[in-house]
Amino acid sequence: MKKVFTLGMVFMVLALFSFAQAGDFQYIGVKKCKTCHNSKKSGAQFKIWMGTKHAKAYETLATAEAKEIAKKKGIEDPQKSDQCLKCHVTGYGQPKEKFAASFKMEEGVGCEACHGPGSKYKSMKVMKDIYAGKVKGAEYGLVMPDEKHCTTCHNEESPTYKKFDFKTFWAKIAHPVPEKK
């Protein structure tokens, strides 16, 4: 009886550990996303992202205009300021353990800023299972962003804020996965 109880406890602890680890997602960076999301067949999401302001969000902070805006706000270097980086770098402010070695902050507002850290959903098998409805993407850290998600950065707190119309801006960054025929 004691062996059964001990073995049962071991399995329970392992199950709880696995459950706790499920939420332990890491940011992996856009190059990992590019692997599968670059071809025309897959929807060329990476190429579309490269053509957006999101892809240049970190670089933007090095422009003369950004430096002037920062100066007016009392910020010496916008590329080092929490006030700027929180919206110009994916996952900024998260603990360093949340970032894989492949992640580069210079990538700006990458895929994972909108879709969540990709360490658990990055595999082809997981993505196929998500699209087939076999598993829920959220269990693997996949986020399907909505207007509320976007307005965490696109709001009046931004010194360059322009009225945010979700439908208009969403159309500018649209990158759907093509329907299977």
- On whether residue 13 sits in a domain, the answer given is no
- CA torsion angle 24 92 51 156 (round to 10): 120
**pLDDT attached to residue 5:** 40
- On whether residue 127 sits in a domain, the answer given is no
Exposure class string for 30-44: b at 16+ Cβ within 10 A, else e: bebbbeebbeeeebe
- On whether residue 125 sits in a domain, the answer given is no
- On whether residue 65 sits in a domain, the answer given is yes
- On whether residue 7 sits in a domain, the answer given is no
How do residues 64-94 score in pLDDT, each as one tens digit? 999 999 999 999 999 999 999 999 999 999 9
Q: Which domain holds residue 160?
A: 26-119+145-173
In the chain, % of residues over pLDDT 90: 82
- CA torsion angle 131 140 137 13 (round to 10): 110
Radius of gyration of the chain (CA): 20
Is 99 in a helix, a strand, or coil? strand
Q: Which residues pair with 99 in a beta bridge?
A: 27
- On whether residue 71 sits in a domain, the answer given is yes
Whether the predicted pLDDT of 55 surpasses 80: yes
Secondary structure (DSSP) of 34-80? HTTS-STTTT-HHHHHHTSGGGGHHHHTTSHHHHHHHHHTT-S-GGG
Reported as a pLDDT band with limits 50, 70 and 90, residue 101 is very high
58 vs 94: CA distance, rounded Å: 17
Domain total in the chain? 1
Q: How many CB atoms lie within 10 A of CB 143?
A: 16
The sign of the torsion formed by the CA atoms of 63, 67, 69, 70 equals: positive
Whether the predicted pLDDT of 181 surpasses 70: no
How do residues 107-143 score in pLDDT, each as one tens digit? 999 999 999 999 999 999 999 999 999 999 999 999 9
Whether the predicted pLDDT of 13 surpasses 70: no
The sign of the torsion formed by the CA atoms of 43, 46, 47, 52 equals: positive
- On whether residue 97 sits in a domain, the answer given is yes
- On whether residue 178 sits in a domain, the answer given is no
pTM for this prediction = 0.83
How do residues 130-177 score in pLDDT, each as one tens digit? 999 999 999 999 999 999 999 999 999 999 999 999 999 999 999 998
Q: What is the mean pLDDT of residues 2-28?
A: 49
Q: Which residues pair with 27 in a beta bridge?
A: 99
